[in-house]
Structure formats: C-alpha cells, structure tokens
Amino acid sequence: MVARRLKKAFVGANAFEYLMSRFSTPDEIFGPVSISRLKSSDKYERAIEGYLPTADVVFLDEIWKAGPAIQNTLLTVINEKLFRNGDQELKLPLKLLVAASNELPAQGEGLEALWDRFLIRVISTCVQQEDTFYRMLLDDTEEEEGDVRWRITDAEYADWQQAIRGVEVPADVLAYITDIRRNLMKVELDGSEMHRNVYISDRRWKNVVRLLKTSAFIHGRPSVCASDLLPTYHCLWNEPEESNDIRRIVVQALFTPYVKEIGSISLSLKSDLKVSRVREALEAARRQGDHRR
C-alpha cells in the first residue's frame, strides 16, 4: 500500500508490484523475451513495457523467496538503476524500490550484497495500542483514489537531485558519524550479554550521507545538522536484535556533548550559587553589626 500511494507523489508515474515465490522467474519481473525481435533480428531482448524496468515506484513482496537470477539482476537495478536488455544498457526511471518479507535473508546463501542495498530497514509489528487497534478494526474506508494536491514532475525531481548533491556536510556531523562507527564495533544484542561488531559497508555509509543531505534539503537547510542523523539507526542494523542498542548508540552520540555541556553549566551554576549565598551571609552580618552600633 505504501508503494502504491507513493506512486501518486510523482506526475505520470508507473508502478510495478509483485508477490515473489520460489517459482518466480525473471520474465515475470523484468518482462518476457520478445519472440518477434528474436526472429527478426536474432536479438535476445525482453519486452519490458509494464514491468519493473519501466516503473518509477516498485514494490516486491516476499523478496527473499526469489531465485538468484532475479536477485542478482536487482543488484544493479537498486544501486546503479541500470538494466541490461540484450546488448543495450538502460537507465531506469526508478525513483523508489520497496520490499517486504516475513523473513530475513538466509545466511550463507550469498544474499548479503542485495540486503546491503536496502538502506532503510523498518521492522513492522502488529498494532500495539488498543485505541489504534480498534480504529483499524472499524475502518472500512478504501484507499483514496482522488487527485493528490501536489505532485513532483520529472524536471523538479532532477533539480532536487542536483540540489541535494550540493548540500554541505560539516565537520561536527562527520565527527558524530565517526563516533557512531566506533561504537558499532560493540553492539549489545537484545536479551543477551553478548556483543557484536556490526559491519556497515562503505557503500551503505555513502548512501546514509546522501540520506542526511536529502533530509537537510527537505527542511530547507544548506547543510546537514545533528538532527538529520536521528533516523539513521534504521539504516545501521543487520539483525533485529541489534536495532535497540544501535538506536541507543545514535542517540548517545548526538546528545552526549550536550549532556556534558549541561553538566558543566550545572557545576558553574552551583558554584555561582555558593558565592551568592556567602555574599548574602556577609551582607546580613554587616547589616547586623551596623545595627548594634
């Protein structure tokens, strides 16, 4: 539903969605082989219209059930937005790819590279709060089909991409990133006293910084600030049991300097308060002495 709704954010956008299974074939995702081109020009090309290569927004459900042929092709689709069709390399219009799964990629099956390309990772659980749960049960409204008030054109999207590249990343933000990277070497796992070194690839860090620049641009700032880093814990975990401690690491990295500064100010205020009380006592003693005279 999220991917379907996001399609409406772009003018004239095409969406592609598919439920994967272990029987899914590349033809179902990237388009069938064009028999006419194979006959007429002896070229092995896919008829891609209406399939993933022509989509602006893509949703792939149960992605880890797909076979290696699909997953390997997705590597360049997600990262470089390129697709090889016969002897041609196509630049894709892809703006967003969302995937969902009830399971994480199995270890030891070579899926780490594809998993690494998914920058933002959100664990979706059942509705917890009772009032929200009741609203969900009683909500019979269907997905809105009406016009969206404001949509992004391809020209605007291209201009935004150029502007985002020009957003500055100041030294203090880089220092926060260094602190977070250092602490990721010892992440405490949920429900355990064990620690783990969480590896984040250079490619993912590069994409994290681009996400920070995008956040600053959306908020109308010419440079990244510390608040842009807050959501990055969604980008830094590999296993669910790492997520809580990584969130703590990010928050601690951002607020520890302020906590120290507040502590320093507090000590200074206490010292000033002591001096003020001594002065008040001396002044009271002086007035009492004058009164006795």
* Per-residue pLDDT reduced to its tens digit, 104-157: 888 888 899 999 999 999 988 888 899 999 998 998 776 655 567 788 999 999
- One domain for residues 293 and 238: yes
- One domain for residues 80 and 22: yes
**Beta carbons of 91 and 82 less than 8 angstroms apart:** yes
Q: What is the pLDDT of residue 265?
A: 58
Q: What is the pLDDT of residue 153?
A: 92
Q: What is the pLDDT of residue 150?
A: 84
Which tokens in the block code for residue 18?
């598919």
**Beta carbons of 221 and 101 less than 8 angstroms apart:** no
- One domain for residues 139 and 251: no
Q: Is 238 helix (H, G, I), strand (E, B) or coil?
A: coil
Query: Is a pLDDT exceeding 80 seen at residue 89?
Result: yes
H or E element, residue 2:
helix 2-6
pTM reported for the whole predicted model: 0.80
Listed residues 128, 152, 176: the one ending a domain: 152
Q: How many Å apart are CA 231 and CA 250, to the nearest integer?
A: 9
Q: How many Å apart are CA 214 and CA 223, to the nearest integer?
A: 10
- One domain for residues 178 and 108: no
Q: Which residues contact 123 (CB under 8 A, 6 or more apart)?
A: 240, 243
Query: Is a pLDDT exceeding 70 seen at residue 236?
Result: yes
pLDDT (mean) for 215-225: 96
- One domain for residues 233 and 99: no
Containing structural domain, residue 284: 154-293
Q: How many Å apart are CA 246 and CA 235, to the nearest integer?
A: 10
- One domain for residues 3 and 126: yes
- Looking at every residue in the chain, the average pLDDT score rounds to 87
- One domain for residues 161 and 143: no
Lowest mean pLDDT among 12-16, 64-68, 124-128: 124-128
Nearest Cα neighbor of 83 from 37, 114, 52 is 52
* Per-residue pLDDT reduced to its tens digit, 146-187: 567 788 999 999 999 999 999 999 999 999 999 999 999 999
Q: How confident is the model at residue 264 (pLDDT cuts 50, 70, 90)?
A: low
- One domain for residues 54 and 171: no
- One domain for residues 111 and 158: no
Query: Is a pLDDT exceeding 70 seen at residue 258?
Result: no
Q: What is the pLDDT of residue 141?
A: 72
- State the CATH number of the domain containing residue 189: 1.10.8.80
- One domain for residues 88 and 187: no
> How many CB atoms lie under 10 A from the CB of residue 46?
20
Listed residues 122, 152, 182: the one ending a domain: 152
- State the CATH number of the domain containing residue 95: 3.40.50.300
Domain count, the chain: 2
- One domain for residues 75 and 191: no
Distances (CA, A) of 231 to 33, 148, 240, 253: 42, 27, 16, 13
Q: Which residues contact 21 (CB under 8 A, 6 or more apart)?
A: 62, 65, 66
Q: What is the pLDDT of residue 193?
A: 77
Listed residues 120, 152, 184: the one ending a domain: 152
Q: What percent of the chain is modeled with pLDDT above 70?
A: 84
Distances (CA, A) of 95 to 57, 77, 107, 130, 220: 6, 11, 29, 36, 21
Q: How many Å apart are CA 252 and CA 249, to the nearest integer?
A: 5
- One domain for residues 58 and 78: yes
Question: 176 pairs with which residues across the strands?
Answer: none
Q: What is the pLDDT of residue 290?
A: 60
Burial 57-73 (b: 16+ CB within 10 A, else e): bbbbbbbbbbeeebbeb
